[in-house]
Each structure stands twice: as C-alpha cells, then as structure tokens.
Amino acid sequence: MTARDIAVDGKRLETAWWGPSPDRAPTLVLLHEGLGCVALWRDVPERLAAATGCGIFAYSRFGYGQSDPTPLPRPMTYMHDEALKILPRVLDAAGVQRAILIGHSDGGSIAAIYAGAVQDPRIAGIVLIAAHFFVEDINIASIEKIRAEYQTGELRSRLARYHANVDVAFRGWNEAWLDPRFRAFDITNYLPTIAVPILALQGADDPYGTDEQLHVLARHVTAKLETQLIPGARHSPHLEAKDATLAATVEFVRHTLPESRA
C-alpha cells in the first residue's frame, strides 16, 4: 500500500493505492460506507489487486479516517454533493484513467448517482454493495439502534481507532439519516441513465435494507445488471462473506475490463 494525501478545495483527503498506477492498469475505486474509511476496507484492496491485476484506489471522505473534518450538520444532499462535486475532483487528482467504482452502502449510493448523472467515459462499470436507493423502515430502525450503541456502548471507542474526528464521522452520518427530512431520500431517478454494467450485491441478512433494494434497482435500470443476494452476510458482505463477494466482484471485473489480468 502507498499512502498519500490529495487536496480538494484546499482540504486534505487521506488516500491509498495498492498495485499498479493508473497509467499501467485500470483502477478499482473504493467508496466506503457511512462509517467507513480507507483502513476499514481491511484486506479487500490487497486481495482485489492480487486477483485482478488492477490498481486499487481508496480515499476517506471529508470527516472520515485521517481526512480533514467537514462542517455539521451534513445537508440532506450529502451523498449527491459527494457524487457530483467531490468525486470527480478526486478522480482527477488521482489521475484515474479507466476504472470501475466499487461502493459500499453510502458509497454504493454515491457510485450510482455519479454513474447516472455524469456519464464519465473513464468509468467502465460499477459494483454496488448494500447500496441504498430509497429509505426503508428497517434502515431507520437499525440506525436508531446504532446511535444508542455509540452513546452508551463501546462503538465510539472502536471507531475512534480509525477516525481522527470520530464524532464528526458518526454524527454526520447518523444525524442526517435520522432527520425526518431524510425520509425523502430517493435516487431511483438516476438509475435509468446509468450506461455501464452494474453488479449489485447485498447480504441476505442485511439489517439496513431488504432485498427490495435490489428489486427496485432491477426495475429502473436499463444497463446490463447482475444482482446477488449473498447468504450468511449482513451489511458488509465483502467482510462477512468475503470469498463469495470477492469472487463475484473479480468475475465482474474480468468481463467489464478485459484488459485486466482477472
């Protein structure tokens, strides 16, 4: 892994690279979940790099990991803002030339918004892991539960190992989702204009969303789509059912980026 920072609007973003640089191979761009960061991808980047021959690029969004903080409260449009204002600048700064976006949870929603809105010729496909396309009751109930765990349990101390500004990381995500206005979050209007292949994965026991997320995706997209419900996984199938999730992802990369080594 090669760690370095890049700047967007004069603010520092933590980033990391694994494998070849973007002038030597395609890039898999990892977009983390609502409480994630570079470090919380665990060994997934190394395994993807070894299996595909692609470079792997990850960054911690503002307020996460070792990146600079972001003002609170976050706007109800924070995922749209990330997709449409920040992500293209990050891809430019990283020198990405040809890529697949791999987004987990919030990161998957950000990837879907970007692919549907921008039509970036650099993006060859997207992998959506436990992405949210609309809000469900089960989603809100789980986020209310995790707020209690953060306030009274060990979750805050665990997250503080990875986030320099742990309260910004948690509150920015949690308070946005629990704001009554966030019930209107719905990105299905971006789905019909996605023009690249899509792989959508979800844990069969995901407490943050039902398989209706996959059904809604299938009803709206016109691009080539593969969906998989991963047995034995909850909200992080790339960690909880790693072999099955990475096998599906590597196969998708092989078909979508034939120039890769997969």
Cβ-Cβ contacts under 8 Å for 228 (sequence gap 6 or more): 199, 200, 201, 202, 248
Rounded CA separation 247/228 (Å) = 12
Q: Which domains does the chain have, with CATH numbers?
A: 2-256 (3.40.50.1820)
Tokens of 98: 């040809």
Tell me the pLDDT of the chain averaged across its residues: 96
Q: Which of 111, 239, 133 is nearest to 187 (CA)?
A: 133
pLDDT of the residue at 259: 76
Give per-residue pLDDT as tens, 82-124. Answer: 999 999 999 999 999 999 999 999 999 999 999 999 999 999 9
pTM score, whole prediction: 0.97
- Report the side by side order of strands in the sheet with 225-230: 2-8, 11-18, 55-59, 27-31, 99-104, 123-129, 198-203, 225-230
Residue type, 121: P
Give per-residue pLDDT as tens, 7-36. Answer: 998 999 999 999 999 999 999 999 999 999
pLDDT of the residue at 4: 85
pLDDT of the residue at 84: 98
Q: Averaged over 234-244, what is the pLDDT?
A: 97
Evaluate if residue 49 carries a pLDDT over 90.
yes
Angle of CA points 252, 15, 206, to nearest 5°: 50
Give per-residue pLDDT as tens, 143-194. Answer: 999 999 999 999 999 999 999 999 999 999 999 999 999 999 999 999 999 9
Q: Averaged over 40-67, what is the pLDDT?
A: 98
Residue 228 parent element (H or E): strand 225-230
Instruction: Kindly report the backbone phi and psi dihedral angles of residue 197, in degrees, each rounded to the nearest multiple of 5, phi listed first.
Output: -60, 150
pLDDT of the residue at 260: 67
Cβ-Cβ contacts under 8 Å for 207 (sequence gap 6 or more): 138, 142, 234, 235
Integer angstrom CA distances of residue 169 from 141, 172, 230, 231, 240: 19, 6, 28, 30, 23
Residue 134 DSSP label: B
Tokens of 225: 């789509």
Residue 158 parent element (H or E): helix 155-159
Instruction: Kindly report the backbone phi and psi dihedral angles of residue 102, in degrees, each rounded to the nearest multiple of 5, phi listed first.
Output: -120, 110
